[in-house]
Amino acid sequence: MTTHGYESGRLDLPFVGISTFGKRPYVADWSRIGADVAILGAPFDAGTQWRSGARFGPRGVREASTLFSFGHAGAYDHEDDATYLPGSVRIVDIGDADIVHTDTMTSHANIESGVRAILAAGALPVTIGGDHSINIPCINAFDDQGDIHVLQIDAHLDFVDERHGVRYGHGNPMRRAAEKPFVTGLTQLGIRNVSSTAKEGYDDARARGSDILSVRQVRKLGPEATAARIPEGTRVYITIDIDAFCPSIAPGTGTPSHGGFLYYDVLEILQQVAQDHEIVGIDLVEVAPDYDPTGSTSILAAQLLLNLLGFIFHARG
């Protein structure tokens, strides 16, 4: 008798049906989430400074995630000799936060409400953006959850305080996070080359306790030593900007930056962090599918999220 589940239930191939994340159940009532993980879409991109299009990120990543929806009892990894995301890990998709076009504050408030609903249900919030400004309401929602450390994987520092009167755009989220009393520090990985932040921003970030590493510095250290820089015992919130990756594998983003990470550069760090720390929340942002007709950027995002969730719940035992 096999236990992988292929013999039971509907076949429900990836190209059939509704594209929820991983083809997991859709829960419309945010007061009845009842899961270990809840996926929230945040299709807001009015915080961008150049190319828009990340508002379609949640749809693109959800559709791509159906590629990994075969079977009903997890995914076996022969390298790790582990089955990740077995049926005992309950994942639901709660749809998207309401976005009001041109209205940043109302849109952000609606995203924050979604993350708060997930936290109230005792589930792990996974928010798919949208531009990186959506991290601001995600972090706001943790104001009653105890201290957290933010791990940012990104090409850009995103530590601008204010530019042209804008304080809540996609160049501001890490500065807004650093101002929170419950954010005890930031680890910022992948920051490189022509950046969105002036030298004063780097000086300010370091003065506030940020640990900033480029792609080359991370590669020189290796994944274990890089992960070890996160203070022991901290609870970690992970924010991933898809432009952290080299546009040779992730062209579908508004602000591509060459010289970025490749897949295993990031995956091995995330696996180590998931083993060493409690992960309390995740967002993945800046996927803009229209700039990538191959769909590989959305597939990368979906594969990364599913593997990260597998690592988290495997570590929890």
Edge-to-edge strands of the sheet including 37-42?
91-96, 37-42, 124-129, 278-285, 235-241, 148-153, 183-189, 211-213
CB 188 within 8 A of CB 201: no
- What does the pLDDT look like over 80-114, one tens digit per residue? 999 999 989 999 999 999 999 999 999 999 999 99
Phi-psi region of 288 (alpha: psi -120 to 50; beta: other; left: phi over 0): beta
pLDDT value of residue 195: 73
- Sign for the CA dihedral angle at 143, 146, 149, 154 comes to negative
In this prediction the pTM is: 0.96
pLDDT at position 3, please?
Answer: 55
The pLDDT tens digits of the residues spanning 39-75 come to 999 999 999 999 999 999 999 999 999 999 866 678 9
Scan for tokens 């970025």, then name that residue.
260
Residues of the chain with pLDDT under 70: 1-10, 70-72
pLDDT at 73: 73
The DSSP call for residue 12 is -
Tell me the CA end-to-end span of the chain in Å, nearest whole number.
25
**Residue pLDDT, tens place only, 141-154:** 999 999 999 999 99
